[in-house]
């Protein structure tokens, strides 16, 4: 103990601090675990010690005990004189974080005044940060804003304990310590630091001024036992070249590895890499924008392209480039199977945030074995993220990307960059590189040069022969070894990007023979096909090409290929099922449904694709065990049956599924019942009712099984019918307390009234499961459905109060305010949440909701404005709404936050007007501050005041000052489009046409000029010349579409334009071809030949993203031209696409149905109405059909078709039957007096009516 009046010793400080810690843990239990101020000695000096300690331990320079002795850690609590400096280290400091830090400091002081008063005057608070984004200082904060109702004496002491400069930038030791631990893969970096600091504090308290050396061993044990993230942490040194003169190898099919990169096995491809590099840089820049930070989805950058075009190599090259440019980037490379564990680990980290994301690199993200299990683990991990602290960069073929987006789109935000295919010029570059690298010079005539892939081209260079010749010789070698059959089966599985189970090899002799081939042919041997081992040829595309060469089928290769592949995979399914691996068999079927190796129609015929219908019929027949499909595969086979349409599988899987459900087999999943329900749509009415009843009984009898609630939810969401509603109601009556019931609530609550029984069920569920992860979604849906019911409002309010510290409560609070705009308690509760969580991604929703409640709480505008000014990025929607609500002249744009986007108040002022010189002066001053988004401001100005001479002059002056800036070309195009008569604007635009060939973006200006004046021959000719001479690109497709629209008005012959369109459509891998196709369909009044071309183009799996846009345009064209629509129903394939497109078009133009129904064939009428009903345009169908039937002008066959279509739809039958006359109603119900079939109604002379 030190003498009175003397400076305290380290042990005095430690004892006082220990008393404070005990009081803190007892009195502030909620805060003790968080440790904002790290009471266990979180000082800068302590961090510096830990940094040196772990660096030396990692280098094995001294033992841990020796490091502690050398560092003299007894001095680390003497920070400055007799003061104890408690330092908060935060990578990014915002106003919200500053407020929380000061609040934490207040409670430390308040606790210290009661538990360790001698320590109060020695405390000092500092904040270390790397990125300071605050607009306030500590002295700007008030007790009412930080700790309402707090002790004034403790508050004044807290402010006095802060340094005059409370925030210090560059927490060097803390940042370097974090980087060191990150590089070692530590899962919870801050958790490890806090545990080490606590160990140091305890050592002081126990040992006084001479802490024992064993504290070093304890720190080392904490470090050694800390959980690690799976995968490999990458740094610049990971990519340092390690060339060996004797190693002149190239990669010829294996999966690319870091070792291959370091040894120079990859060729650099600047023409391919530079666009990828730009796209990746733009994606990373977008991640820091507010709209990206507020998203709960995990950002994904996906390098897409054809299988075997070098995407994995480009991924490694991209990571190396990113680390060279930004060495502080945190990059972890993991396998797809490791990703769920990585997500769980990063969720527990506090040193990585959405504003400072770690990059997770995953090669072939969706190449996982058991996808169902993987989806479950991914969903569980992502559900915990509010602001994901990571982003993923990956690669994979187009079909895998589409499957991933379809299954995981709710959790991941995917940005795609599709790489260009290997062309003739790059093939020459590869040949030169291969010659320099290996000393060998392959003869180009021995290589496949047409439509070749990188992996195929490099493989043929290394083998000095084409795939067919290699396959013939390789097959002879396998015949000699007796291995051809086994390897053929392995290739059949490898073609699906899967490993073949090792059990396909009959004995150790075959395994040894295959191992002997591995050195030559790069087979990779594993023990378990789902882990993810098994047997796999190096690249799936090579496996498919080899398999094709070995098929001895009929002249129709597609048919022979289908049967051969089905028989091989049938054998695999039998082996996996008999070996107790149904999940592997199910995954094979799942991948077959999406693989581009199968062709579902005659369109886009490719001899390297197998006929899907023939394939599945043969596979189904070959995989049967005892004449029946395996029960665990029933759901997959039902899904396949739905895709096959009229092609039937024998025995019928639907009948077998109903039989299996009736027996109650434990292997029958909820998905089976769901598919039975879906397939009932294709059956006649009596069978439909029986199938749905069987599925419903099965689901309700076993509703507590995993996945059954999800099946009920999917059925209710997909079918707005009485039987689907009854199924959901029956489930909730018995199981509304079950945790899984939240899935059904998500389907029924959006359609429930305030007095519905569903509300009571959901209230019971929320009371029982309020702490579960999906509780916030049920609470939000409940508040929205109840619309102000007091008991619901009170329950949801209590839930928000119990979970107020969670970001997810924000969405619930916003919904509650919207439905309770006159409830002062609700508004106060939500305002309190906004004050405490201003940085949360859901704060914008709460602020917007509060603005709508402004009548009741007059200071709402002031509170929202104060919140908005504190934010460092502009919340555009809130700012715009605020500017509209505030009275004229009270909005000060300069007071609103700066943003990479234009200030919302600025846009609001433009739209509010009036246009005058003062507004233009204000805009001129502000444009320099929003230079990156000048286009948005100027576009708003041009479109709000089209034809205004002052606006045109203002924009033209900006263009002349800012030529060359980002988006200036788009501004010119917008100006010309909205000012077609302005000669000066046109003159400025025309000056840029000279650079048309050099900069394809200028095509936008040319298109705007031609649209505003189709008679401008000079612009037209320049545009045509550019389209004819340039290599087609995305900008050219948009320009060509514009020309097709202008057409003859510009003096152009349609056949010439269509020839040019055909040339663009034939260009492989050209983005935007669907734009040209739909424009050609419009220009030709939906000519069946062009419609067929469009449908064939869209059949490819990699064009799924273009389908919605294309079908909307196609449907509109078909509805505008009913005669063409009738011809297309006959001449175009697949027909169901035509029917769906017509139905799509009728949604926006239901009046066209009257004319269209008269022109279609009877069977086509029925198909269109069924497609229309699936699109849920029931009201439009009803009006059109009632009108046509009541007019009684149809010929016999169309009338019967209409009656049959109405009869087959329960919804139409019920609604239309109530609106038509007795005779028609009898035809619909099939109850005509004579019992005859519905007859044609005779034409009635209107003059004789009445």
pLDDT tens per residue across span 820-829: 887 888 888 8
Among 581, 603, 623, the domain boundary falls at 623
Among 208, 225, 242, the domain boundary falls at 225
CB of 672 closer than 8 Å to CB of 666: no
Q: Specify if 1064 maps to a domain.
A: no
Pairing of strands 232-234, 123-132: unpaired
197 plus 237 within the same structural domain: no
45 plus 70 within the same structural domain: yes
Strand ranges of the sheet holding 298-304, from the earlier edge strand across to the other edge: 232-234, 331-334, 358-363, 390-395, 298-304, 412-418
The answer to whether the predicted template modeling score (pTM) of the entire model surpasses 0.75 is no
216 plus 355 within the same structural domain: no
Counts for the chain of helices (H) and strands (E), in that order: 62, 13
67 plus 163 within the same structural domain: yes
Q: Specify if 163 maps to a domain.
A: yes
Rg (CA), the chain: 35
- Predicted confidence at residue 1130, as pLDDT, reads 83
Average pLDDT over residues 169-177: 64
370 plus 242 within the same structural domain: yes
Give the Å distances, CA to CA, from 557 to 468, 476, 608, 1102: 15, 22, 8, 23
- What's phi and psi for 524, nearest 5 deg? -115, 120
- Predicted confidence at residue 355, as pLDDT, reads 45
Give the Å distances, CA to CA, from 1217 to 475, 566, 1213: 68, 49, 6
Reported as a pLDDT band with limits 50, 70 and 90, residue 976 is confident
614 plus 526 within the same structural domain: yes
Give the Å distances, CA to CA, from 592 to 451, 487, 599, 637, 693: 24, 20, 11, 11, 31
Q: Specify if 1033 maps to a domain.
A: no
- Predicted confidence at residue 596, as pLDDT, reads 83
Both structure tokens of 280: 């990746």
Phi-psi region at 142: left, alpha or beta (left = phi > 0; alpha = psi -120 to 50): beta
pLDDT at 382 over 90: no
363 plus 488 within the same structural domain: no
Give the Å distances, CA to CA, from 290 to 136, 293, 355, 984: 20, 5, 9, 38
- Predicted confidence at residue 73, as pLDDT, reads 39
Q: Specify if 1192 maps to a domain.
A: no
41 plus 89 within the same structural domain: yes
DSSP for 108-162, written as a single string: HHHHHHHH-GGGGGGEEEEEEEEEE--S--GGG--HHHHSTT--HHHHHHHHHHE
Q: Specify if 864 maps to a domain.
A: no
Range of the domain at 482: 466-623
Taking the C-alpha atoms of residue 1189 and residue 1182, their distance in angstroms, rounded to an integer, is 11
Reported as a pLDDT band with limits 50, 70 and 90, residue 78 is very low
Reported as a pLDDT band with limits 50, 70 and 90, residue 731 is very high
506 plus 406 within the same structural domain: no
- Predicted confidence at residue 62, as pLDDT, reads 56
Q: Specify if 706 maps to a domain.
A: no
568 plus 597 within the same structural domain: yes
In sign, the C-alpha dihedral spanning 335, 340, 345, 351 is: positive
CB of 646 closer than 8 Å to CB of 1167: no
Q: Specify if 352 maps to a domain.
A: yes
172 plus 256 within the same structural domain: no
Reported as a pLDDT band with limits 50, 70 and 90, residue 341 is confident
608 plus 479 within the same structural domain: yes
Which residue from 694, 664, 662 is spatially nearest to 676, judged by alpha carbons?
694
Among 225, 246, 264, the domain boundary falls at 225
Q: How many domains does the chain have?
A: 3
pLDDT at 1114 over 80: yes
Percentage of the chain beyond pLDDT 90 is 12
- Predicted confidence at residue 897, as pLDDT, reads 44
What's 355's domain CATH number?
Answer: 3.40.50.300
pLDDT at 933 over 70: no
Q: Specify if 907 maps to a domain.
A: no
pLDDT at 966 over 80: no
- Predicted confidence at residue 395, as pLDDT, reads 92
- Predicted confidence at residue 203, as pLDDT, reads 65
pLDDT digits (tens, 9 = 90+) for 772-782: 888 988 999 99
Looking at the DSSP bridge assignments, the partners of residue 393 are 301, 361
pLDDT digits (tens, 9 = 90+) for 1094-1104: 887 777 655 66
Pairing of strands 123-132, 84-93: parallel
pLDDT digits (tens, 9 = 90+) for 1197-1246: 556 667 766 766 666 676 667 677 777 777 777 655 433 444 444 444 43
């Amino acid at each position: 103990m030190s003498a009175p009046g003397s400076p305290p010793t380290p042990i005095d400080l430690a004892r006082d601090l220990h008393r404070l810690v005990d009081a803190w843990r007892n009195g502030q239990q909620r805060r003790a675990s968080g440790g904002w101020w790290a009471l266990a000695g979180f000082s800068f000096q302590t961090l510096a010690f830990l940094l040196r300690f772990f660096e030396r331990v990692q280098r094995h320079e001294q033992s841990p005990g020796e490091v502690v002795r050398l560092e003299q850690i007894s001095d680390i609590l003497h920070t400055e004189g007799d003061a104890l400096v408690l330092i908060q280290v935060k990578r990014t400091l915002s106003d919200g974080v500053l407020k929380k830090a000061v609040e934490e400091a207040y409670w430390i002081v308040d606790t210290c005044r009661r538990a360790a008063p001698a320590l109060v005057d020695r405390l000092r608070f500092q904040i270390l940060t790397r990125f300071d984004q605050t607009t306030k200082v500590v002295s700007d904060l008030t007790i009412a804003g930080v700790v309402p109702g707090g002790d004034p004496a403790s508050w004044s002491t807290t402010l006095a304990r802060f340094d005059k400069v409370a925030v210090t930038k560059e927490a060097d030791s803390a940042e370097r310590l974090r980087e060191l631990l990150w590089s070692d893969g530590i899962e919870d970096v801050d958790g490890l630091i806090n545990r080490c600091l606590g160990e140091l504090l305890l050592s002081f308290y126990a040992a006084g001024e001479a802490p024992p050396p064993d504290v070093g061993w304890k720190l080392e044990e904490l470090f050694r036992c800390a959980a690690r993230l799976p995968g490999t942490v990458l740094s610049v040194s990971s990519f340092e070249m390690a060339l060996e003169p004797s190693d002149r190898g190239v990669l010829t099919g294996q999966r690319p590895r870091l070792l291959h990169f370091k040894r120079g096995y990859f060729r650099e491809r600047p023409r391919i890499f530079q666009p990828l590099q730009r796209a990746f840089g733009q994606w990373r820049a977008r991640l820091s924008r507010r709209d990206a930070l507020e998203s709960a989805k995990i950002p994904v950058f996906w390098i897409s392209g054809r299988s075997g075009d070098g995407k994995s190599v480009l991924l490694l090259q991209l990571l190396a480039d990113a680390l060279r440019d930004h060495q502080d980037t945190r990059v972890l490379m993991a396998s797809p199977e490791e990703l769920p564990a990585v997500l769980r680990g990063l969720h527990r980290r506090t040193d990585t945030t959405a504003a400072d994301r770690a990059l997770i690199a995953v090669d072939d993200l969706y190449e996982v074995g058991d996808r169902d299990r993987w989806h479950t683990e991914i969903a569980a991990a992502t559900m915990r993220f509010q602001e994901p602290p990571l982003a993923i960069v990956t690669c994979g073929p187009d079909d895998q990307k589409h499957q991933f987006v379809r299954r995981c789109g709710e959790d991941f935000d995917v940005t795609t960059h599709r790489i260009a295919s290997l062309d003739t010029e790059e093939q020459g570059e590869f040949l030169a590189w291969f010659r320099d690298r290996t000393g060998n010079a392959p003869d180009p005539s021995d290589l496949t040069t047409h439509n070749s892939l990188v992996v195929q081209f490099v493989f043929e260079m290394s083998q000095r022969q084409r795939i067919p010749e290699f396959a013939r010789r390789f097959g002879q070698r396998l015949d000699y070894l007796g291995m051809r059959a086994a390897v053929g089966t392995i290739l059949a599985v490898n073609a699906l990007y899967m490993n073949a189970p090792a059990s396909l090899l009959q004995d150790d002799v075959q395994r040894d023979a295959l191992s002997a081939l591995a050195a030559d042919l790069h087979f990779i041997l594993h023990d378990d096909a789902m882990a993810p081992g098994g047997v796999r040829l190096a690249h799936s595309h090579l496996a498919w090409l080899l398999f094709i060469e070995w098929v001895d089928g009929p002249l129709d290769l597609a048919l022979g290929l289908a049967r051969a592949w089905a028989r091989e995979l049938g054998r695999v399914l039998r082996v996996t099922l008999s070996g107790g691996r149904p999940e592997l068999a199910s995954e094979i079927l799942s991948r077959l449904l999406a693989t581009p190796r199968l062709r579902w129609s005659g369109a886009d015929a490719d001899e390297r694709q197998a006929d899907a219908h023939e394939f599945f019929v043969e596979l189904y027949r070959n995989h049967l065990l005892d004449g029946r499909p395996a029960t665990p595969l029933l759901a997959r086979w039902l899904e396949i049956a739905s895709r096959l349409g009229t092609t039937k599988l024998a025995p019928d899987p639907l009948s077998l599924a109903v039989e299996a459900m009736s027996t109650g087999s434990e292997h029958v999943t909820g998905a089976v019942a769901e598919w039975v329900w879906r397939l009932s749509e294709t059956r006649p009415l009596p069978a439909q009712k029986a199938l749905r009843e069987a599925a419903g009984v099965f689901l309700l009898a076993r509703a507590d099984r995993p996945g059954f609630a999800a099946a009920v939810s999917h059925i209710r969401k997909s079918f707005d019918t009485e039987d689907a509603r009854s199924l959901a109601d029956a489930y909730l009556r018995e199981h509304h307390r079950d945790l899984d019931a939240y899935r059904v609530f998500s389907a029924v609550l959006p359609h429930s009234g305030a007095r519905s029984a569903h509300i009571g069920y959901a209230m019971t569920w929320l009371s029982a499961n309020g702490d579960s992860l999906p509780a916030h979604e049920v609470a939000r849906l409940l508040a929205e459905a109840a619309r102000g019911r007091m008991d619901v409002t009170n329950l949801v309010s209590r839930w928000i109060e119990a979970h107020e510290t969670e970001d997810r409560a924000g969405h619930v609070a916003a919904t509650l305010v919207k439905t309770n705009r006159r409830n002062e308690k609700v508004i106060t509760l939500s305002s309190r949440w906004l004050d405490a969580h201003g940085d949360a991604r859901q704060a914008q929703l709460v602020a917007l909701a509060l603005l709508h409640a402004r009548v009741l709480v007059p200071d709402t505008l002031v509170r929202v404005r104060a919140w908005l000014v504190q934010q460092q990025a502009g919340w555009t929607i809130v700012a715009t709404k605020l500017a509209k609500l505030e009275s004229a002249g009270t909005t000060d744009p300069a007071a609103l936050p700066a943003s990479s986007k234009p200030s919302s108040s600025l846009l609001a002022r433009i739209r509010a007007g009036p246009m005058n010189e003062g507004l233009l002066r204000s805009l001129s001053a502000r444009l320099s501050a929003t230079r990156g988004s000048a286009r948005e401001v100027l576009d708003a100005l041009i479109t709000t005041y089209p034809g205004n001479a002052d606006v045109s002059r203002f924009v033209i002056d900006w263009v002349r000052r800012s030529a060359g800036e980002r988006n200036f070309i788009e501004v010119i195009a917008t100006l010309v489009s909205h000012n077609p008569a302005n000669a000066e604007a046109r003159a400025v635009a025309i000056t840029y046409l000279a650079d048309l060939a050099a900069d394809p973006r200028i095509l936008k200006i040319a298109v705007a000029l031609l649209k505003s004046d189709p008679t401008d021959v000079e612009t037209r000719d320049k545009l045509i010349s550019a389209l004819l001479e340039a290599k087609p690109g995305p900008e050219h497709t948009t320009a060509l579409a514009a020309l097709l629209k202008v057409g003859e008005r510009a003096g152009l012959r349609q056949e010439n334009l269509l020839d040019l369109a055909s040339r663009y459509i034939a260009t492989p891998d050209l983005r935007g071809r669907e734009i040209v196709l739909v424009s050609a369909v419009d220009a030709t009044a939906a000519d069946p030949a062009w419609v067929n071309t469009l449908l064939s183009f869209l059949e490819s799996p990699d064009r799924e993203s273009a389908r919605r846009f294309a079908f909307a345009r196609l449907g509109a064209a078909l509805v505008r031209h009913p005669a063409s629509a009738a011809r297309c129903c006959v001449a175009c394939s697949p027909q169901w696409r035509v029917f769906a497109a017509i139905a799509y078009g009728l949604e926006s133009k239901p009046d066209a149905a009257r004319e269209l129904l008269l022109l279609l064939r009877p069977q086509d009428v029925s198909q269109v109405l069924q497609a229309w009903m699936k699109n849920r345009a029931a009201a439009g169908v009803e009006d059109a059909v009632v009108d046509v039937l009541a007019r009684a002008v149809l010929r016999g066959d169309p009338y019967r078709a209409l009656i049959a279509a109405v009869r087959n739809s329960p919804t139409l039958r019920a609604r239309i039957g109530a609106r038509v006359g007795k005779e028609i109603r009898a035809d619909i119900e099939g109850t005509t007096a004579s019992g005859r079939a519905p007859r044609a109604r005779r034409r009635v002379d209107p003059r004789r009516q009445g």
